[in-house]
Amino acid sequence: MPHAWMVLALVLALVATSSGPLAAQAKPIELRFSSWVGTVHGHHTGVMVPWAKMVEDKSGGRLKITIYPGSTLGKAVDHYDMVKDGIADMGFTVPGYTPGRFPVITALELPLLFKSSRGGSLAVMSIFDKYFKSEFKDVKVLWFWVHPPGHFHLARKQVRVLEDLAGLKIRAATPMLTTMVKTLGAIPVSIPAPDTYTALERGTVDGTIFPWEAISSFKIAEVLKHHVASGLYVAPLFTLMNQKKYDSLPPDLRKVIDDLSGSWGAEFNGRVWDQNEQVGIDAIKKAGGTIYTLPAEERQRWADRLKPIEDDWLKSMEAKGLPGRQLLHDLREAIKRYDP
């Protein structure tokens, strides 16, 4: 009998000493994902929430991503540094929100390159390692994507020809878009996307340039009346992770992140944004807005006016010793393959 009690005591001791580490292992690693769009935005509902769930499921519950929406942790323009400095573990941002910091990636903002978000995003990721990765070496880039081609949206005045843009104040958030708006004869006003509704409502701007999906996502259909289908530009965006946080994960959990990133993440993201385009168009129709499609001849006039922007960009890349001409050639070849 004493022998039996000794065995039982030993078993209980082993359980007691092992329960601490087991409990620690059972607790998931929480990753803070900072977002500057609200919970009704298509990127939140269609990309971030499903993606976070995929990561959690694929990790067997060992990773848990908590999303902080609506600029809870910081403004849109601060998100790159927030993730780099560890204020957030993950986030997404627009490179153009920090002018001059990422010159090579501005190739993606040149006018009239892309036709869709899915195809364009895959084209970008196919040349990411060769041209863009080195610009973002202080963070872990999970994937890049481009939004669907953007159009002009006006609060009061209908625009049908190039000359109608003269003197209109148009929201343009990045240096490239500012140049494009100015080249077309309008007056650019630099305002982050989340502030567009207020700017339109107060008359700070007469219009904005956005893909269709943004009309619904930012709830601005009610402060806009006229929409011009022009498809002149896209903006690149990317999902990023704090490098130290990524490196601290066990190899199998890093693989979970990797498997749901890269080209896979770009295609998933781009497909959702393309699908959300119709949601934006539906919001416009529901609000009683009008959509005017530029005739091919008129659109070519706009394209001809914008052509010097590409020439100037190439000169600026050459002046900085950057491979702008080869990059643009390879980008166009990638677009032919993925976004014809």
Q: What is the pLDDT of residues 133-163, one digit of tens each?
A: 999 999 999 999 999 999 999 999 999 999 9
pLDDT for 102:
97
- 28-147+236-276: CATH class: alpha beta
Q: What is the pLDDT of residues 295-309, one digit of tens each?
A: 999 999 999 999 999
**124, two tokens:** 């970008």
Looking only at the bridges linking them, the beta strands covering 29-34 and 226-233 are: unpaired
Is the Cα dihedral 213, 273, 123, 88 positive or negative?
positive
CA distance 66 to 289: 37
Residue range 150-234+286-338, CATH number: 3.40.190.170
Domain extents in the chain: 28-147+236-276, 150-234+286-338
Asked if 28-147+236-276 and 150-234+286-338 have one fold, the answer is yes
SS3 content of the chain, % helix, strand, coil (to 5): 55, 15, 30
Q: What is the pLDDT of residues 9-65, one digit of tens each?
A: 343 344 344 433 333 457 999 999 999 999 999 999 999 999 999 999 999 999 999
Q: What is the pLDDT of residues 99-132, one digit of tens each?
A: 999 999 999 999 999 999 999 999 999 999 999 9
Give yes or no for residue 284 having a pLDDT over 60: yes
Q: What is the pLDDT of residues 233-254, one digit of tens each?
A: 999 999 999 999 999 999 999 9
User: What is the overall mean pLDDT for the chain?
Assistant: 93
Q: Please state, in angstroms and as integers, the Cα–Cα distance from residue 299 to each residue in 90, 208, 302, following that order.
A: 39, 18, 5
Looking only at the bridges linking them, the beta strands covering 226-233 and 290-293 are: parallel
In this prediction, residue 4 has a pLDDT band, given cuts at 50, 70 and 90, of: very low
Beta-carbon contacts of 68 under 8 Å, excluding residues fewer than 6 positions away, are 32, 33, 34, 35, 88
